[in-house]
Chains A and B, each alone.
Chain A
Amino acid sequence: MMTEIEHPLSKYLRKAMMPHIWCSGCGNGIILNCVVQAVDELQMDLDKLVVVSGIGCIGRAAGYINTNSFHTTHGRPIALATGVKLANPNLEVVVISGDGDLFAIGGNHFIHAARRNIGIKVICANNFNYGMTGGQQGPTTPLEALTTTTPYGNIEHPFNLVHLAAASGATYVARWTTLHVRRLTQSIKRLLQKEGFGFIEVVSPCPEIFGRRNKMKTGLEMMEWFRRSSVVENFSDPSKAEITPERIVVGEFVNIDKISYERLLHEKIAHINEEKTWR
């Protein structure tokens, strides 16, 4: 075992916080890995990067990345990030959070931030349930799935997150699984370079909490599900991209150019501050 050499990405992590709290086979670590890889490839200035997260397993991600980070209350990372981004538009503000945090308790903030097209970048770890609280049903739990609060099978229809994001006006919408690490990393790079509100859903294994109740005892079994069912269909219709056991459509769904809220706002401020004289 050679440990005298450091992991190439360790400089992006807060050593004091490592190892992370996530279970064996949890996809959050892979998402974190891809995010820092993307940051590394873009040679981003860590002082200009702010990572905001909410409550839930992935919420800890903010603390793990060695940059400006804020771990907010449940459901509010987007709202808080909005304040950060407007207060200092030069900061690259990334929200990393879970499906429950962003789309149940925080759903309203998501759609409004997308509508405003505020320049924050949202990366959602979709693990189909509330992991940290022990596996309750959530806004992305598949129909008939078993969770601690749907012991007889889930009867709620899950959100199709990419459809929701696209419909709300996001300028960049993509979905990958934690097995698509290369594409995810490149996708995150594109996301970070985009103006306006961007969103990536990462379908992520939660073997310990969700998987074992749904015939996928290990992370490998969940990853194999992703391998079997995922099809890359770039720019296909997000409304047809519901996640089913048979089919997980991944790819870039939206990548458009739209002027961001903060740019409009600061242009307006500049505009009304120049003396107007009338002929």
Chain B
Amino acid sequence: MSNTVKRKAILTGAHFMNGDFACAEGAIVAGCRFFAGYPITPATEIAERLAERMPEVGGIYIQMEDEIASIAAVIGASYAGLKAMTATSGPGFSLMQENIGLAVMTETPCVIVDVMRGGPSTGQPTLPGQQDVMQAKWGSHGDYEIIALSPSSVQEMFDLTVEAFNMSEIYRVPTILLADEVVGHMWEKVVIPSPENLKIVNRKRPNVSPEKYLPFMPDDNLVPPMACFGEGFAFHATGLTHDEHGYPQTQNSEVQERLVRRLCDKIRKSVDKIVKVEEVMLEDADVVVIAYGIVARAALSAVRKARAEGIKAGLLRPITLWPFPEKHVEKVARRAKKIVVAEMNCGQIVREVQRAAKETPVMFLPKLGEDPHTPMEIFEGIRRNNP
């Protein structure tokens, strides 16, 4: 009997799987055909799933000698024309930082999945954390903008992986899926839509002849159309500061100004197009809970409980962590009396919230180790801060 029936690229339909698998399926749906990685808990299952799935869809899976090599290979693959991804956790994410910077500088579309665990250092490999939020934004040296998404369900592991690819293809920027151990390992129902109901974006290609092509000359959206190696546009890419030709300009401050500003602006000027949040019962909320990732799920039931007890509570869940949904926080801050921020660290996104909330007092519920916040813990936070 023939048991190895080849699976399709898009497994349309309802599935029961864990977050890492969903992420892998999302990647394949998004058109990712290159994965380079290195085993690390709790992201390993993504690699395992793709090791099995990539060949089925004619894609490449390779396990590199380390995370540095993995992200480097991803950049190379992307320049050779494939949508590419790697997946890791804190320690590996740290190793990748330099080349994430290279990806930013060379405007390489690629996706880095960081399934966060407890740090610092080796920390608690099997327990969740949200401690890499700031590293995701500032981890590599130099000035840049980046996109980071935060899934809080297995379904979102799928959806946001697809979204991450779309974003990175549109803006030619490395996009980070900041998941956490719980979301990664949790098993849930996932619905994979049919192709026609999927939005897949591919990088913009040059529409000029090779002679006219300037690899780093931006369009009006500040993003340069991207040619790939082997397509006849012999061009140069470098981590050095470079002009529109891609040629190094290591002594020219004007070029540096122009390049770095554009790298930031192409994201900043598109914030409204990029940023996604979930808003629950915010219209009349006095107490607004802000939480993301797995914590947001406890927060939601806490808000519901509070409403049942007559407290006007609401939830703002940033799905896009970077760029930070500043406008949304400002908006709720204007009418809310108190803001409660719950995250699994000693205070990272809360700083961004405080910055945006201006005078509105922000109360912080940190959580470290073992499990995420319980709904009761967050409900307590709401209750205590109810004016």
Contact = CB atoms under 8 A, between A and B. Distances in A.
A and B touch in their complex, CB below 8 angstroms: yes
A68 to B, nearest CB: 4
A69 B237 contact: yes
Count chain A CB atoms within 10 A of each CB in B65, B70, B76 and give the residue with the most.
Answer: B76
Contacts of B327: none
B98 to A, nearest CB: 6
Chain A residues touching B, range: 35 or more
Count chain A CB atoms within 10 A of each CB in B5, B60, B73, B232 and give the residue with the most.
Answer: B73
Contact of B58 (A108, A269, A278): A269
A83 B76 CA distance: 5
Given A71-B236, A86-B73, A272 B229 contact: no
B4 interface: yes
Contact of B76 (A87, A108, A268, A275): A87
Interface string B198-240: 0000000000000000000000000000000111101111111
Contacts of A273: 6, 55-56, 58
Interface secondary structure of B, over-half rule = mixed
Contacts of A80: 72-73, 75-76
A108 B64 CA distance: 11
B234 A272 contact: no
Nearest to A262: B60
A142 to B, nearest CB: 28
A84 B6 contact: no
Interface in B57-99: 58, 60, 62, 64-66, 68-70, 72-82, 84, 98-99
Contacts of B56: 272-273
A83 B33 CA distance: 11
Contacts, number: 150
A277 interface: yes
B87 to A, nearest CB: 15
Contact of A62 (B6, B55, B75, B236): B236
B234 A86 contact: no
Contacts of A172: none
A28 interface: no
B175 to A, nearest CB: 17
B1 A47 contact: no
Contacts of B366: none
Interface residues of B, number: 50
B248 interface: yes
Given A83-B36, A83-B72, A269-B55, A63 B229 contact: no
Given A80-B72, A82-B64, A109-B65, A87 B80 contact: yes
A204 interface: no
Contacts of A46: 234
A84 B77 contact: yes
B247 interface: yes
B235 A68 contact: yes
Interface in B228-261: 229-232, 234-240, 245, 247-248
Interface string B46-61: 0000000001101010
A117 interface: no
B60 A70 contact: no
A192 interface: no
Contacts of A70: 76, 79, 106, 236-238
B81 A276 contact: no
B64 A79 contact: yes
Contacts of A58: none
B73 A82 contact: yes
A83 B80 contact: yes
A148 interface: no
